[in-house]
Structure 1
Amino acid sequence: MQLGTRWTSGQQPPAAVPAVLHRQIAAVDAAIPADDLGQPRPRWTLTFLEGRPIAELDTGVIVESTASGEVIVRHDDEDEFA
């Protein structure tokens, strides 16, 4: 596994984040409700597994590129092999 980078939800993804993930990352960010109490937004972590980019939010939401090139959004408690 190759470590990528981290950034705060709602910010522009760093240049290291492949453009293919940007649209789905933005959709996840837009779905996060505003926090009227001023709590910090969750952070994304970019890694690469077998050369494919995976962005995981602290909340467990994962945006990844599959072996076929499809970009999917899932939660870390979902069985990816079902």
Structure 2
Amino acid sequence: MQLGTRWTAGAQPPAAVPPVLHAQLAAVEAALSPEDPAPRWTLTFLEGRPIAELDTGVTVALTATGEVVVGHIDDDPLD
């Protein structure tokens, strides 16, 4: 696994975040409560594919087939 980068939800994703993930990241962030402190995303790469994990456990990942999926850390988004 290669560590990518971290950023705060609601901020522009860093350049290291593949654009294919941006729409789903924004959709997840839109569902966050504006009254709570903004959680942070962590971008990693597993088997060469990007996975963004929010501090809340929500994940946005690119599967081997090129599909962007939203899940939870307890799920396996790469199946």
Q: Structures share a fold, TM > 0.5?
A: yes
Indicate the SS of the match to 1:69: coil
**If the length of structure 1 is used for normalisation, what is the TM-score?**
0.89
Indicate the SS of the match to 1:12: coil
CA apart distance, 1:78 = 2.7
Distance 1:28 1:54, change over 3 A: same
CA apart distance, 1:5 = 0.2
CA apart distance, 1:33 = 1.2
Matched residue, 1:66: 63
RMSD after superposition: 1.6
Alignment partners' CA distance in 2, 1:41 and 1:59: 10
Letter in 1 for 2:75: E
**If the length of structure 2 is used for normalisation, what is the TM-score?**
0.92
Letter in 2 for 1:15: A
| Consecutive aligned runs of 4 or more in structure 1 exceeding 6 Å deviation | none
The structure whose Rg is larger is 1
Matched residue, 1:4: 4
1:7-29 CA-to-partner distances (Å, cap 9, x unmatched) read 00011100000001000000000
Matched residue, 1:25: 25
Alignment partners' CA distance in 2, 1:49 and 1:12: 23
Letter in 1 for 2:9: S
Unaligned runs of 5+ in 2: none
Alignment partners' CA distance in 2, 1:58 and 1:15: 20
Matched residue, 2:72: 75
How many residue pairs align between the two structures? Answer: 79
